[in-house]
Structure 1
Amino acid sequence: MAELIKIILNFSERAGEIARSIRREPKLFSLLVEEKGESEKNQRFTHDFKTLADVLIQEALRHYLTQMIPSLGDHVQGEESAEFTNTLGEKITVRICDTQQETAILLAKVLDGNQEAADILADVVHSDISWSPEPELIEKIPNLPIEKLGIWIDPVDSTGEYVKGKTGTTQGNIYSQGLQCVTVLIGLYDRMSGLPVGGVINQPFAVFNEESKSWQGRVYWGVSHGGINIHNVPLDTYNTEDGRPVLVMSSSEDTKIQDKFNKTFTVLHATGAGYKLLVVALGYAAACVSSKGSTFRWDTGAPHGLLTAQGGGVVIFKQLDHLTKEGDIGGDNLNELQIRYHKPNDHAVQPSLQWSNEGGFVAYRDPSTLYRILECI
């Protein structure tokens, strides 16, 4: 199991390098963007984009996991279809081939015959990534049930910021927008219970190195199973503004809901579902609230696994008042409200919404924060 986690951690860094490689080549990047169809659009945005980076990262994860555990490759789910349409209107199914040369030939078709660009991408996908996770933590990883594992991946979360390519500005420790909000999300869950058992979040553009004029990434991860919790996140105290705990939300949230929370929390806005939940795991915010069904399982799976390893979680916002019936925020009642990842929503209006978090969510690291959330709503 430790080897599996190491492979996923190393893969997340490979994914981050794919994202950085594409951003380094403006001509290449312009070739890779196509607008999503109407049925796929996130309801909060007028425009949403799919990039080859999404598909390439998603299929690369499936490829490398299948090499190690053939049955696990069948249980990798993500946002994107592997079918990509190039600028000539040709539809090509993107996959990682057995050799770098074969992958480059396939990618050249996507890139309208741009073999040089295809070679760059194929080289990154097939290259060895020399990144070593913390050995003292890796050796403590519990024996997860591989035969029951499922994986959700969001290859490039906050695609809009990725496309814009701008450096963000901070509110305290939290970026409201910018490349720093882009994340690669890989979540592990138990296919029987649907509960998360681990999560990896990679920030490909965490820090800009002024000397080398290049971006450097950061990786956060956690595993929780059988009463054993392992993670690499420093347990800092929550960030506060004006003496009040911070709550992070989307700027598109209903102003009436924001006003309710403003009485107790300092409400800050940030883009990217994965990033907003990451700042909770990092202790920069006490909680993240989304009252709408505008996020999906691939958005919350990885941070949910990371938060669970810290003693936190991600519960359904519209069922939060059920906690008051039992008055037991730390027990089984809270466990029942955790988002599950193994079954689609019943009676989804359209196929694209079958994996949406239709009841909204509340992400927290300390369960006692939920008392304050309840008092506000």
Structure 2
Amino acid sequence: MDAKDFVQSILNLSQQASNLACLIREDPQLNERLTASKSDRINGEADFKTLADVLIQCTFSHGLRRKFPGFKINVRGEEDGSFPAQNGKQVKLEITDDAQNTRKLLSQVLKDDSVVEKLSGAVHRNMEVHDDFLNKISGLQLPEELNVWIDPIDSTKSYIKGGESLESVTVLVGVHHAGIPIIGVMTYPFSKQQIWGVCYGNTCVTNVPKPLGNSPIKTVYTSTLETDERRDKLRSQGYHVETPAGAGFKLGGVILGAASFYLVSRRSTYQWDTCGPHAILRALGGDVVLQSRPDTPLSYNDSVDPNEGFVAFLDKQGALKLLSALK
């Protein structure tokens, strides 16, 4: 499988996902009406999913399998493909090439025929992303069996809230092989930005420019679940600590140079959160390693268990110094 064709397809489908996210969010009443609760996460916080989450994941999975029918592509995501219908029962949104079937499925969830038609059109709309950096991976051959993690809407609470919170919303796609993240695509639906990276074999390519230098003041992103004691300890060591929303957004901050590190001490993230950004960090020369074993990167499989505590970085020595400051 040619890497250029595969990444091009992920970029196209991610752009289509971004378009769906924006369409659904354009109507606040529609977005509010189409929000369903899920079982509590391991950290005890309530979790939610929107129609955008489910529809994006189903559309992405179908599109990727249709494009590469002869390859073993295992697509897994945060959602299970189901959403409450108008009658209160769960409907499985199984997308096919049949637009009429899509309209039929969506009409079980939505009363407004015009909205059904609008969303169905977006599901079956082909989008094309143009990026000259893709030429750098032309000819690179990928394994015939690939595993894909997708988080269709990362920072769902921000997506539901709207307003300025929308800047932290991302669509995350990660591809791993033999436990190692090798392809990552991050799309920011509301700022229209898309970043990606490939790190496989001896090839590391990304459309993200490497930072020109290190800031003397190191910014650390943490979760709000991080203890005040640990945050205060970091500040006492000269670090600037921030807690923006969204695991994907925080990882993207490290990738784009807004933060030096993303520190997670609790089991509060999942493979679908980290796989894509992790691959981009690797393409830039960075990594995501376990706090307890800094020489061990996060690895990937098909488990839905939460990740161990980790630190994400571009500067390995700086990350080791950070962890040392917490001891």
Task: Name the TM-score, length of structure 1 as normaliser.
Answer: 0.81
Map of 1:326-365 to 2, 5 A cutoff? 334=295, 337-342=296-301, 344=303, 354-357=304-307, 359-365=308-314
Match of 1:18 in 2: 20
State whether structure 2 residue 173 is matched by structure 1 residue 186.
Answer: yes
Tell whether the 8 Å contact from 1:238 to 1:285 is kept in structure 2 after alignment. no
Amino acid at match of 1:275: F
Tell whether the 8 Å contact from 1:238 to 1:283 is kept in structure 2 after alignment. no
CA distances 1:344-373 after superposition (whole Å, capped 9, x unpaired): 3xxxxxxxxx4310x211101121222221
Amino acid at match of 1:340: S
Structure 1 residue 87: Cα displacement = 4.3
Alpha-carbon distance between aligned partners in 2 of 1:30 and 1:118, rounded to the nearest angstrom: 16
Match of 2:185 in 1: 200
Alpha-carbon distance between aligned partners in 1 of 2:312 and 2:258, rounded to the nearest angstrom: 13
Alpha-carbon distance between aligned partners in 2 of 1:52 and 1:73, rounded to the nearest angstrom: 28
Match of 2:150 in 1: 153
CA distances 1:183-226 after superposition (whole Å, capped 9, x unpaired): 00000110xx20010100000112xxxxxxxxxx1100000111
State whether structure 2 residue 285 is matched by structure 1 residue 311.
Answer: yes
Distance 1:343 1:163, change over 3 A: closer
Structure 1 residue 154: Cα displacement = 0.1
Tell whether the 8 Å contact from 2:281 to 2:313 is kept in structure 1 after alignment. yes
Task: Name the TM-score, length of structure 2 as normaliser.
Answer: 0.93
Alpha-carbon distance between aligned partners in 2 of 1:239 and 1:121, rounded to the nearest angstrom: 44
State whether structure 2 residue 203 is matched by structure 1 residue 228.
Answer: yes
Structure 1 residue 295: Cα displacement = 0.4
Amino acid at match of 2:112: N
Structure 2, gaps ≥5 residues long: none
Alpha-carbon distance between aligned partners in 1 of 2:320 and 2:212, rounded to the nearest angstrom: 18
Tell whether the 8 Å contact from 2:290 to 2:298 is kept in structure 1 after alignment. yes
Match of 1:7 in 2: 9
- Specify the SS of the correspondent of 2:25: helix
Alpha-carbon distance between aligned partners in 1 of 2:195 and 2:27, rounded to the nearest angstrom: 27
Structure 1, gaps ≥5 residues long: 168-177, 207-216, 321-333, 345-353
Alpha-carbon distance between aligned partners in 1 of 2:48 and 2:220, rounded to the nearest angstrom: 28
Question: Which ranges of 4 or more aligned residues in structure 1 deviate by more than 3 Å?
Answer: 71-74, 237-240
- Specify the SS of the correspondent of 1:67: helix
State whether structure 2 residue 94 is matched by structure 1 residue 121.
Answer: no
Match of 1:264 in 2: 238
CA distances 1:135-174 after superposition (whole Å, capped 9, x unpaired): 2x2121162433131100000000000000021xxxxxxx
Range moving further from structure 2, 195-204 or 57-66: 57-66
State whether structure 2 residue 206 is matched by structure 1 residue 247.
Answer: no
- Specify the SS of the correspondent of 2:100: helix
Match of 1:367 among 300, 316, 324: 316
Match of 2:59 in 1: 60
Match of 2:136 in 1: 140
